[in-house]
Amino acid sequence: MSNRSRPLFGYRARFTLTCYALLAVQMTLLVVFVYVPVFWAFSKSFFKFEVGSESRFVGFANYAELLFRDPTTLPSLLHMLFLTAFAVCVRLSVPLVVAKLIHSLSREKSRYLFRLLFLVPVVVPGVAVQLIWYGMIYNDRGMLNELLRMAGLEEFVRGWLSDPSTALVAVAFVGFPWVGGFEVLIYYAGLSSIPESVTEAALLEGCTGIQKFFRIDIPMVMSQLKLILILTIIAGVQSFEGLFILTKGGPGFRTMVPGLWMYFNAFSFQRMGYACAIGVCLFFIILGLTVLNMRYFRSTTELEGRG
Amino acid sequence: MIVAGSAWLLWPRAGGEFVTGMPAHRDNGAEARFVIKFVPGQQYMPGTTPYGLGEPLTGMAEVVRDFEARFPDTRVELITVPAVREYLVTQLSSGNAPDILMVNVEDVWVDMQKGWYVPLDPYLEAPNPFVREQGDPSLPGYDQWWDMFKYQAVSRGKAAPDNLNYCISFDMVETGIFYNKDIFREVGIEPPATWDDWLASMAKLKAAGYIPLLMNRDSFNDWTVDLVFDQLYYDILPGIDLVQDPVREAYLEGYLDWDELCFLFERGYFTEKDPRYTELWTHLYDLRQYCNQNLMGTDLAREFVTQKAAMLWMSTQFTYRLTGDRHLAFDWGVFYVPRFTAATSRFASNTDMCVIGGAGTQYEVSNSACSDTGDPATSERLKRVIALLQFLMVPENYARVVNEYPSMLPNVLGVPVLPVVQPFADILERRYTTTKWVYTFDLKFNDIQARMLELYLNDGIGHEEFMRLQVDNVRTATRNLVSRKPIDMSRLEARWKELAPLRAGMEGLPHE
């Protein structure tokens, strides 16, 4: 065979180069649309910067204001922690119980039907869910107040989202009964992947019912719990759109969270530099919580390895 | 391919703004040399039906069509844009804003140094060409466009702190108390003459099972604060009004501007030391006891038309909601907020409540209008944009737009006021408020005041705590303002000393 027809690179090398080329496109877009704005925000957090005006270097002044002088900082952090902790509690428990119940059904058709029914609400956009709660449930003439009126409990009728004593809890309760189809599916997949041998061994040892749920099922879906935990924490720290729709952080600052305060500073008050400083702090909060989670919350694989 | 497809989908197209309602323009199509994007506002947007009542609006579209017929090289797109500051800031900073915007001019003042808006003075001081072509020198607008405006002082009073005019005060608006005459008769009350009468009437309405008054948080934060402030401070204005504005004084009569407020704050006014300022908020709290439970409720009109509430504090536009509703089962009327008396407060000035309305629809020309040359002095495009506004203000065109349905008060001489909104025109004859707190300082000040007031009115914090937070808020706002726009303190200080003898005879001033 002649060497002349031999390609410069072998198949493997060409395949690898193609992968690199395709990755380069993705990386370029990622850099342009994600990394550059992130670094830009980081640099702008050291400036007093208003859209349409000259920016002025102020060093750590924005951070100092945020951490030591802004009276909104501490309450908004506490609200964020409360809402995130609440979300973690319900997302780690309710969907898991529902998934376990579905998984325990004997007929495959029933299991399929319930999985489907719990998944369907996922297609409703989050904004629509917030608007439904705002307009149909918490409204002055909404479902909750009308039910109270019908029950003769007029004294409990209130503006649930505008009453300082109820607003934060009302916000936390949005989405009740918190059976997110996504979480149910994740947990269901985890429960389905528990080896038959483990289940049988547990039964032989007399481990059934609640005992089996806590001693076998939960440790075996620890990877799924860890995933949901990380996602819930990130969402809890970052998200503000629900509060923007429901309360705009009010009454007063009773439902304000850092993400929403960042938005108001950036676009309503035009304090872009200060908003960037809030954004950078949120980034470090998420990073810290994720590292803690990765370090101290062991997944199923790690537990198996340890075992 | 995905990236290319996405880019194609996202690429801005000509006329790609969301357009509500019927197309205004004739088919000037591809030949159009000037494509003007105009945000007429929800009041006049063709194709919409205000409050879902009556036929869709056509007035603005008809006038625009006539304009396009006069200028075949021009196409006007009437568009709806989000009524939020976020949208404005991003569009204006990128030079992509519509040519004619509808924004409260006080929001423009915040950005006036950024070159986003075109000063309109050279055009307002020149003849309106569409009036001049009629050849009658006696017509308003023949010499100066300014002369066409009915409410001269209000319109000219909208000049920015740099004394330039960035807006056309297209029409006027005022607020009033809409009341259910049937409920008033049933409870045995009349429209009140004084604030105390009003509270007493509301107590009777509450006892009879009605919501006495419907209001929202923003009405408290904006209208009520200014009205009560005026009632408490009007008497001492001669001693504290330090600057008479040569341009705006005719309308503003002793108005306290931002620099005066900053100066007075340094003298202890608007702090815990100022008994008037401390008292102001208690009157709001008293009023709140007779209002709807949820101040953030969005459907106040429903409670009023279903007769669950006896009064609704609303602006002129609501007239159409009532006149246009064939199913309305009660008589209604309008009265204005009654005055304080000595029984209400020892600081009551005993003068009629001032007005807080004024210019309603306010049109500004953005920097996009001179995008052809980048220079207002040489831009042909800008001239065409201005021509559209001048054409709109010709009385026969104007009446087709503003009087298409009873909503706003005309601000062009020779255009009649529709009878049903006449009560608001009468209210607008009163003098203007002493100051507009929400338009004086930055947007953060407004936001925090509104939030703290909401908490206070809903018993989330007490009066003392509210005062502490509010004084902090004023302090921060005045400092921010002074750092952006240095004040000529020596001038204010000199005037302050001149007025000292006057203040010596006044009661309840902060210790100087």
Cross-chain Cβ contact A252/B461 below 8 Å: yes
ipTM of the complex: 0.79
Q: Mean pLDDT score of chain B, rounded to an integer? A: 89
A51 in a structural domain: no
The answer to whether the beta carbons of residues B408 and B317 sit under 8 Å apart is yes
Average pLDDT over residues B394-400: 97
Cross-chain Cβ contact B299/A139 below 8 Å: yes
A20 in a structural domain: no
Name every residue whose Cβ is closer than 8 Å to that of residue A61 and which is 6 or more positions away in sequence. Answer: A48
Q: What is the pLDDT of residues A54-83, one digit of tens each?
A: 889 999 999 999 999 999 999 999 999 999
Cross-chain Cβ contact A158/B459 below 8 Å: no
Q: If we measure between CA atoms, which residue out of A83, A140, A91 comes closest to residue A254?
A: A83
pLDDT of A198 reads 87
pLDDT of A49 reads 87
**Domain carrying residue A289:** 62-306
Q: Choosing among A23, A244, A269, which should be mutated to test the B contact, i.e. which has the most B CBs within 10 A?
A: A269
A36 in a structural domain: no
Considering only the beta carbons, identify the residue of A29, A53, A264 that sits closest to B447: A264
Cross-chain Cβ contact A140/B93 below 8 Å: no
A6 in a structural domain: no
Count contacts between A and B (CB, < 8 Å): 82
A3 in a structural domain: no
pLDDT of B422 reads 94
Question: Number of structural domains, chain A?
Answer: 1
Average pLDDT over residues A107-124: 90
Interface residue B6 vs chain A (CB under 8 A): no
Interface residue B308 vs chain A (CB under 8 A): no
Q: From the CA of B2, how many Å to the nearest CA of chain A?
A: 11
Q: Choosing among A29, A30, A140, A166, which should be mutated to test the B contact, i.e. which has the most B CBs within 10 A?
A: A140
The answer to whether the beta carbons of residues B101 and B39 sit under 8 Å apart is yes
Torsion, Cα B311 B317 B323 B328, to 10 degrees, reads -40
pLDDT of B6 reads 66
Rg (alpha carbons) of chain A, rounded to whole number = 25
DSSP-derived pairing of the beta strands A56-57 and A47-48:
antiparallel
- Dihedral class, residue A28 (left if φ above 0, else alpha if ψ from -120 to 50, else beta): alpha
DSSP-derived pairing of the beta strands B74-78 and B332-335:
unpaired
Q: From the CA of B113, how many Å to the nearest CA of chain A?
A: 9
Distance of CA A68 to the CA centre of its chain: 28
Interface residue B484 vs chain A (CB under 8 A): no
pLDDT of B22 reads 46
Interface residue B15 vs chain A (CB under 8 A): no
As a whole number of angstroms, the distance between CA B294 and CA A124 comes to 28
pLDDT of B248 reads 62
As a whole number of angstroms, the distance between CA A172 and CA A175 comes to 8
pLDDT of A4 reads 57
Considering only the beta carbons, identify the residue of B3, B302, B454 that sits closest to A250: B454
Name every residue whose Cβ is closer than 8 Å to that of residue A172 and which is 6 or more positions away in sequence. Answer: A82, A83, A86, A87
Q: What is the pLDDT of residues A29-58, one digit of tens each?
A: 999 999 999 999 999 999 998 887 788 999
Interface residue A138 vs chain B (CB under 8 A): no
As a whole number of angstroms, the distance between CA B310 and CA B321 comes to 16
pLDDT of B19 reads 45
CB count within 10 Å of CB B268 equals: 15
Q: What is the pLDDT of residues B398-453, one digit of tens each?
A: 999 999 999 999 999 999 999 999 999 999 989 888 888 888 888 889 999 999 99
Q: Which residue of B has its CA nearest to A256?
A: B451
Residue predicted with more confidence, A64 or A268:
A64
β-bridge partners, B175: B315
Q: From the CA of A171, how many Å to the nearest CA of chain B?
A: 15
A267 in a structural domain: yes
As a whole number of angstroms, the distance between CA B358 and CA B172 comes to 5
For residue A98, pLDDT over 70 is answered with yes
Chain A residues whose beta carbon lies within 8 Å of the beta carbon of residue B459: 164
3-state secondary structure of B345: coil
pLDDT of A267 reads 85
Q: If we measure between CA atoms, which residue out of A297, A301, A300, A260 comes closest to residue A279?
A: A260
The answer to whether the beta carbons of residues A55 and A47 sit under 8 Å apart is yes
State the CATH number of the domain containing residue A296.
1.10.3720.10
pLDDT of B10 reads 62
pLDDT of A80 reads 95
Locate B62 and state its tokens: 């008809």
Cross-chain Cβ contact A159/B443 below 8 Å: no
All domains of chain B in start order, with CATH:
17-148+362-407 (3.40.190.10), 175-357+431-504 (3.40.190.10)
pLDDT of A124 reads 86
pLDDT of A1 reads 46
pLDDT of B256 reads 85
Q: What is the pLDDT of residues B202-260, one digit of tens each?
A: 999 999 999 999 999 999 999 999 999 999 999 999 999 888 776 666 666 667 888 88
A43 in a structural domain: no
Name every residue whose Cβ is closer than 8 Å to that of residue B334 and which is 6 or more positions away in sequence. Answer: B176, B177, B178, B179, B319, B423, B424
Q: Choosing among B458, B468, B483, which should be mutated to test the A contact, i.e. which has the most A CBs within 10 A?
A: B458
Q: What is the pLDDT of residues B267-312, one digit of tens each?
A: 999 999 999 999 999 999 999 999 998 888 768 898 999 999 999 9
What type of residue is A34?
V
Interface residue B504 vs chain A (CB under 8 A): no
pLDDT band at A304 (very low <50, low <70, confident <90, very high): low
Find the largest Cα–Cα distance for chain A: 96
CB count within 10 Å of CB B453 equals: 27
Q: If we measure between CA atoms, which residue out of A98, A103, A35, A96 comes closest to residue A227?
A: A96
Cross-chain Cβ contact A269/B443 below 8 Å: yes
Q: What is the pLDDT of residues B11-65, one digit of tens each?
A: 655 444 444 444 555 555 557 889 999 999 989 999 999 988 889 999 999 999 9
Q: If we measure between CA atoms, which residue out of B445, B510, B442, B503 comes closest to residue B471?
A: B445
As a whole number of angstroms, the distance between CA B174 and CA B423 comes to 10
A232 in a structural domain: yes
β-bridge partners, B211: B309
Residues 82-101 in B contacting A (C-alpha not used; CB under 8 Å): 85-86, 89-90, 92-93
Cross-chain Cβ contact A251/B292 below 8 Å: no
Interface residue A33 vs chain B (CB under 8 A): no
The answer to whether the beta carbons of residues B352 and B339 sit under 8 Å apart is yes
